[in-house]
Structure 1
Amino acid sequence: MRNKPSYAIDSVDHALRLAQLLQQEGPVRVTDAAEWLGVSPSTAHRLLAMLVYRDFAEQRPDRRYTAGRMLRPAPTSEAPLALLRRVALPHLRALAQRLHESTNLMVLVGAEVRFLATVEGDQPLRVGDRVGQALPAHRASGGRALLALMPVDQLEALYDSFDEIDLHRLRRELALIRKRGFAINDQLTEAGVTAVGAALHDPSGQPIAAISIAMPTVRFHRDRLPHWATELSTTTTVIERDLAAGSAK
């Protein structure tokens, strides 16, 4: 029998119980959640908003909440996540410091990319922390960079059941991305946010993850693309070098 820890943090406990409720019983209204937890509706609303932010919940058009992506069964990444995060973070910090924009590390998981690390830019208007979030790979810059390197048969198998995706058009877009070495997400996943991403390779040369530079769209100018592409290339090179050194230990 498990006893409640003496140092239990009520807000954490409420959030975990709410996640259980969504997974097992949802969809729920804010008032349902408040009654179940024994808290005020405003507190329940704040908890649900945080769960939505971290992809543990989704809000339906009828304003009820259901379990989000992080509470659903999903494929896992074969990438060495801890090593990737440890090796990449110092270089993401350096890149963010040079460009004053947010930088991200992500891996491909099925047809999504999962964010492993974010370093926020230092400007007042900036793209926030994305750690733990998942986005459609064919829309996210890092996901597009990774899909561009995927064999055609694997790409077609991955999107075979996605009727809403024009696979012929996607293949054309990915061919261009493969040729130039970076991908752009110009408000494909979020209005007002643009990102430029590039793939990372493991010591054997296989694409294993991706990094991106994310910025408010008002600061995105295509004449700066060569500079951002060079910064991404430089950063991927040093991360790959350190990954090879770390894997050899």
Structure 2
Amino acid sequence: MQNIRIVKRPEYAIDSVDKALQLITLLQEREWVRIADAARELGVAPSTAHRLMSTLAYRGFALQDDQRRYCAGPVLAGDAGRARIRALVARTRPHLEALAAESRETVNLVERVGVTVRFLHCVEGPQLLRVGNRTGTILPARTSSGGRAALAALPQATVDQLYTGRGAQLGGHRLEPAELAELHEELATTRARGYSLNLGRTEPEIAAMGAAVALPQRPGVLAVTLSAPISRAPLLEQPDTVAALRRAAEAIGRELEHEPSF
């Protein structure tokens, strides 16, 4: 008979670490976790649960959606999460590759989750001097081209909630009225011209533009971006390049419009 060693709680266990590990387990077991549920499971105040969750989100262990729920982040993505992304990439890759070939710049498919975007797939452009692969990178939505394109597809009230609600306050991404007004002005410009522009805002030597993928079942979630060295920024806004980006986003939207799982 096999002997099973029972591991006891260490005498000098660090409570905050223990709570964080319990929270990680919770994220792995459930599709979505709300702060109230986490607080109840851990036996702590909601403010404590939110601080723990925010730290996990900062390190890529958790992501927050528009309904202030948390899911497992890219560090914890299980088989189901990886399978969803693989299926999504398989459906969109031909459109991304076609855009990279036509524009000769690096193309990314990004997904917005709450106030962040993560890069799901990259097709590097064929030029020797080009932007490298960003797959797996997580950036603030409001400063990245894909994030702003996705935010521009949301109702204003949803954007306000993301950046002024209690979750924003506890998560450290609350915007002051002037900052929120500036964001809304940028989103209005994005909607008017059909794409967002980022000239060195995320990284000084990189220019990018993004277009949202229109999904009726999940608006403001996916976007396609083009990235180039800042020296080629004027070429990104050439009418042919803009048209190619928008066509790719529209083609992906048609590809996924009947897939609620995406």
TM range (shorter): 0.5 to 0.7
Counterparts of 2:211 and 2:236, CA distance in 1:
18
The equivalences for 1:1-249 within 5 A come to: 69-75=58-64, 81-160=85-164, 161=169, 162-163=174-175, 166-202=179-215, 204=217, 206-221=219-234, 224-244=237-257
Counterparts of 2:215 and 2:192, CA distance in 1:
20
Q: TM-score, normalised by structure 2?
A: 0.63
* Structure 1 residues 205 and 134: alpha-carbon distance in aligned structure 2, compared to 1, 3 A threshold: closer
User: Residue 86 of structure 1: SS of its match in structure 2?
Assistant: helix
Q: TM-score, normalised by structure 1?
A: 0.66
Counterparts of 1:223 and 1:119, CA distance in 2:
16
CA shift at 1:127, angstroms?
Answer: 0.5
Counterparts of 1:223 and 1:100, CA distance in 2:
10
Counterparts of 1:104 and 1:234, CA distance in 2:
14
- Gap runs ≥5 in structure 2: 3-16, 18-54, 72-80
The answer as to whether partners of 2:210 and 2:223 remain within 8 angstroms in 1 is: yes
The answer as to whether partners of 1:113 and 1:143 remain within 8 angstroms in 2 is: yes
| One-letter amino acid matched to 1:240 | G
Counterparts of 2:116 and 2:236, CA distance in 1:
29
Aligned-residue Cα RMSD (Å) equals: 3.1
Q: How many residue pairs get matched?
A: 187
- Gap runs ≥5 in structure 1: 2-23, 25-65
* Structure 1 residues 244 and 223: alpha-carbon distance in aligned structure 2, compared to 1, 3 A threshold: closer
The answer as to whether partners of 1:114 and 1:134 remain within 8 angstroms in 2 is: yes
CA shift at 1:173, angstroms?
Answer: 1.1
The answer as to whether partners of 2:112 and 2:220 remain within 8 angstroms in 1 is: no
User: Residue 90 of structure 1: SS of its match in structure 2?
Assistant: helix
Percent identical pairs in the alignment equals 35
Counterparts of 2:221 and 2:236, CA distance in 1:
29
The answer as to whether partners of 1:194 and 1:215 remain within 8 angstroms in 2 is: yes
User: Residue 92 of structure 1: SS of its match in structure 2?
Assistant: helix
| One-letter amino acid matched to 1:227 | D
The answer as to whether partners of 2:141 and 2:148 remain within 8 angstroms in 1 is: yes
| One-letter amino acid matched to 2:120 | L
Counterparts of 1:106 and 1:223, CA distance in 2:
18
Counterparts of 1:125 and 1:105, CA distance in 2:
21
CA shift at 1:203, angstroms?
Answer: 5.3
| One-letter amino acid matched to 1:199 | A
CA shift at 1:225, angstroms?
Answer: 3.3
